[in-house]
């Protein structure tokens, strides 16, 4: 078992998950609640990493992070062949799953509940934090889990922007590829089992979230009287 690759993968996945949450949730909320010219084009671009070959995504990242890019020429930030480049690759491939799941959940929140809170004087931020996000929490959590799992398992794009440097940029998927190439099948089998177990637990949890009944109070009960309606915004 390549423990350095394992811990590096966890480190990359943890940082990438925070980035996926921070970027994906606002984007999902924006796309779910607004309509603007070019929205379909933007959504298509955001979803492209789901279907593009990882080598193509990696090539785009090479152009974005490599020599001659604004990141290098203007800000003098060099990420290629370092573990932060693996984080960028993980975020790019995991973000569409977060956006897709969260957007669907946010779009399904009953707008009448939000409107009821507005009539009682609640501000938009309070409505978002106390009504919208709690009601959409299952889809949001599912998006986070799927995005994190995708980030942990990223291989192709990561290999192109980080290379294969043991102890520095070699994540677990790359270590599995390296072990197979070197015919170290015992090591490869163990690492494959670890990755499979993590993926299974993540998907199992998502399916449990989808199947469990949503504890949402019907609108008729929420608005039964002023006291109950006020409880929503408080």
- Mean residue pLDDT of the chain comes to 86
pLDDT category of residue 174 using cuts at 50, 70 and 90: very high
pLDDT digits (tens, 9 = 90+) for 192-217: 999 999 989 988 888 887 776 654 44
Query: d(Cα 210, Cα 213) in Å, to the nearest integer?
Result: 8
Q: Which domains does the chain have, with CATH numbers?
A: 3-233 (1.10.3720.10)
Would you say 157 and 80 are in contact if contact means Cβ atoms under 8 Å apart? no
Contacts of 98 (CB under 8 A, 6+ apart): 20, 21, 24, 25, 28, 143, 144, 146, 147
pLDDT digits (tens, 9 = 90+) for 82-134: 999 999 999 999 999 999 999 999 999 888 888 888 888 888 888 888 889 99
Q: Which of 97-101, 175-179, 194-198, 221-225 has the lowest mean pLDDT?
A: 221-225
């Amino acid at each position: 078992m390549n423990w350095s690759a394992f811990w590096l993968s966890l480190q990359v996945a943890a940082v990438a998950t925070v980035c996926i949450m921070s970027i994906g949730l606002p984007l999902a909320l924006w796309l779910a609640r607004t309509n603007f010219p070019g929205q379909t084009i933007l959504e298509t671009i955001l979803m492209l990493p789901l279907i593009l070959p990882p080598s193509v995504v990696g090539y785009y990242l090479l152009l974005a992070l490599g020599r001659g890019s604004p990141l290098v020429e203007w800000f003098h930030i060099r990420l290629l062949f370092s573990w932060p480049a693996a984080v960028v690759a993980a975020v790019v491939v995991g973000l569409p799953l977060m956006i897709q799941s969260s957007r669907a959940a946010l779009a399904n929140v009953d707008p009448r509940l939000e409107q009821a809170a507005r009539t009682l004087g609640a501000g938009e931020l309070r409505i978002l934090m106390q009504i919208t996000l709690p009601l959409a929490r299952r889809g949001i959590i599912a998006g986070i889990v799927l995005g994190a799992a995708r980030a942990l398992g990223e291989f192709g794009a990561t290999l192109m922007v980080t290379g294969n440097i043991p102890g520095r940029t070699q994540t677990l998927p790359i270590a599995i590829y390296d072990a197979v190439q070197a015919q170290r099948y015992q090591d490869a089998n163990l690492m494959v089992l670890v990755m499979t177990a993590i993926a299974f637990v993540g998907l199992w949890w998502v399916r449990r979230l989808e199947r469990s009944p949503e504890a949402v109070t019907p609108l008729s009960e929420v608005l039964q009287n002023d006291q109950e309606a006020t409880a929503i915004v408080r």
